[in-house]
A and B are shown apart, each in its own frame.
Chain A
């Protein structure tokens, strides 16, 4: 009856290569939420803050189990506890751990350069659609990266270092770039239709092949034995994998058989 069954398929005729990078872990919000209501309630989480010049635990060079000085001093800011601070205590002195100015005698601040034995695993960059984009529509970029804890030797002692991604810088290959405070997510994960704008999407305005680069900035914290996590001064920025993708207009083509029957057909 019907010699050939023709299917009208909308296909986007692009070729693209995706250079995959190292795989990773789970995603995690970069920092804690702090709206005005939270601030007024005294519930903003400012744990892990890295201050000007850096701060460090007064006991951070002690042997495991030896304890620290337990006394607060200095100008750095640490996590306050509104439930245990005595009334009238300034927030900067109301800390869960003792702090001293960096560079004090016997208490040099740990900086990012001290983490020679530790490096976060680079995140991976992804895009939707995968490997191509439609001129004039949003292309959704997102990264897969998460909080990572590594164990090793820090300044001669066994320590754990925790890396937390805090910033994502995309260069889109079209002479534009953007820094985001979120890793982004798939359209499906965000519950929105494809090609809708996302916090990490980008619109290309011209046909062509583009190379997209992502660099992720991490902050670090360390701890010895069972001590508290202490911020490391400075941040580290690592490149993720490069994406190569082509932009063009959507085209409609007539395809002989569907992809299951003719896997080598256009658009399959």
Chain B
């Protein structure tokens, strides 16, 4: 019994000394030597482009639906937007809602072409050129008056899309900006 008490005292003392000396280390941090790799989700640029086309068409359809409702419930775009893009879309639709505006008709697009792609991993990144055409839409105020006659009806855009998640062949919109170079919509 006495011997056991002595052993406990020694262990406690040793632990204290080690702690004071900074020798008691936290659990080791595991540094991975390789990322959990996943195979590329697109076998070719053509496959990526087809996915981009599908995603953009879906995004436009939902955008039109939100615009028809005067910009309300813009969170519906969460299915087709990255977090950053959703934030931007929500802000734009909030402005539409505050103005009391809404749209009728449908947006369309054409000339969708690949600018660049990063398909080497399971997280694809695709940048496309696209002409957005809103000529078949009308912007109305709360009295039903057309207030959108000064809008550019076709817009050359550069749209970035990314995999919804690693390994997913489904793309979402990550960024949409006007193309500052040659207008490929004219």
- In the assembly, what is the distance between CA of A41 and CA of B140, in Å? 10
CB of A202 to closest CB in B, whole Å: 8
| Chain A residue with the shortest CB-CB distance to B37 | A136
From B4-12, B43-51, B95-103, give the one contacting chain A.
B95-103
Does B143 sit within 8 A of A, measured CB to CB? no
Q: Chain A CB within 10 Å — which of B35, B152, B176 has the most? A: B152
- In the assembly, what is the distance between CA of A189 and CA of B179, in Å? 25
Partner of A91 from B32, B85, B150, B158 at Cβ < 8 Å: B150
CB of A214 to closest CB in B, whole Å: 15
Q: Report yes or no: A80 in contact with B150, Cβ–Cβ below 8 A.
A: yes
Q: Report yes or no: A37 in contact with B31, Cβ–Cβ below 8 A.
A: no
- In the assembly, what is the distance between CA of A83 and CA of B101, in Å? 14
- In the assembly, what is the distance between CA of A206 and CA of B158, in Å? 33
Partner of B150 from A48, A52, A83, A235 at Cβ < 8 Å: A83
CB neighbours (8 Å) of B121 from chain A are 197, 203
Partner of B21 from A2, A8, A49, A80 at Cβ < 8 Å: A2
Does B3 sit within 8 A of A, measured CB to CB? no
- In the assembly, what is the distance between CA of A109 and CA of B103, in Å? 39
Does A114 sit within 8 A of B, measured CB to CB? no
Does B144 sit within 8 A of A, measured CB to CB? no
Does A166 sit within 8 A of B, measured CB to CB? yes
8 A Cβ contacts from A136-169 to B: 136-138, 164, 166
Interface string of B116-158 (1 = CB under 8 A from A): 1010110101010000101001010000001011111101111
Does A46 sit within 8 A of B, measured CB to CB? yes
CB of A27 to closest CB in B, whole Å: 15
Does B13 sit within 8 A of A, measured CB to CB? no
CB neighbours (8 Å) of A44 from chain B are 152, 155, 178
8 A Cβ contacts from A164-216 to B: 164, 166, 176, 178-182, 195, 197, 199, 203
Q: Report yes or no: B116 in contact with A179, Cβ–Cβ below 8 A.
A: yes
CB neighbours (8 Å) of A137 from chain B are 32, 34-35
CB of B49 to closest CB in A, whole Å: 16
Interface size class of chain A, counting residues whose CB lies under 8 Å from the partner chain: 35 or more
| Chain B residue with the shortest CB-CB distance to A83 | B150
Does A60 sit within 8 A of B, measured CB to CB? no
Q: Report yes or no: A181 in contact with B158, Cβ–Cβ below 8 A.
A: yes
- The answer to whether residues A37 and B151 also contact, given A52-B186, A136-B33 and a CB cut-off of 8 A, is no
8 A Cβ contacts from A82-128 to B: 82-89, 91, 94
CB neighbours (8 Å) of B29 from chain A are 10
- In the assembly, what is the distance between CA of A2 and CA of B60, in Å? 69
Interface size class of chain B, counting residues whose CB lies under 8 Å from the partner chain: 35 or more
| Chain A residue with the shortest CB-CB distance to B182 | A52
CB of B142 to closest CB in A, whole Å: 15
Q: Report yes or no: A36 in contact with B63, Cβ–Cβ below 8 A.
A: yes
Does A223 sit within 8 A of B, measured CB to CB? no
Q: Report yes or no: A35 in contact with B92, Cβ–Cβ below 8 A.
A: yes
CB neighbours (8 Å) of A77 from chain B are 152, 183, 186
- In the assembly, what is the distance between CA of A199 and CA of B158, in Å? 15
Q: Report yes or no: A31 in contact with B180, Cβ–Cβ below 8 A.
A: yes
Does A50 sit within 8 A of B, measured CB to CB? yes
Interface string of A45-59 (1 = CB under 8 A from B): 110111110000000
Does A23 sit within 8 A of B, measured CB to CB? no
11 sampled A-B residue pairs with Cβ under 8 A: A29-B177, A36-B64, A37-B63, A40-B107, A42-B139, A51-B182, A51-B183, A82-B150, A180-B127, A181-B175, A252-B31
17 new A-B contacts, CB < 8 A, other than A36-B107, A50-B180, are: A32-B177, A34-B178, A35-B173, A39-B107, A39-B155, A40-B151, A48-B180, A50-B181, A52-B186, A81-B150, A82-B149, A82-B151, A84-B150, A136-B35, A180-B127, A181-B115, A199-B125
Enumerate chain B interface residues (CB-CB to A < 8 A). 17, 21-23, 25, 28-29, 31-35, 37, 59-60, 63-64, 66-67, 71, 74, 85, 88-89, 92-93, 95-96, 99, 101, 103, 107, 115-116, 118, 120-121, 123, 125, 127, 132, 134, 137, 139, 146, 148-153, 155-158, 160, 173-183, 186
A-B CB proximity, top 3 nearest: A85-B150, A37-B92, A42-B151
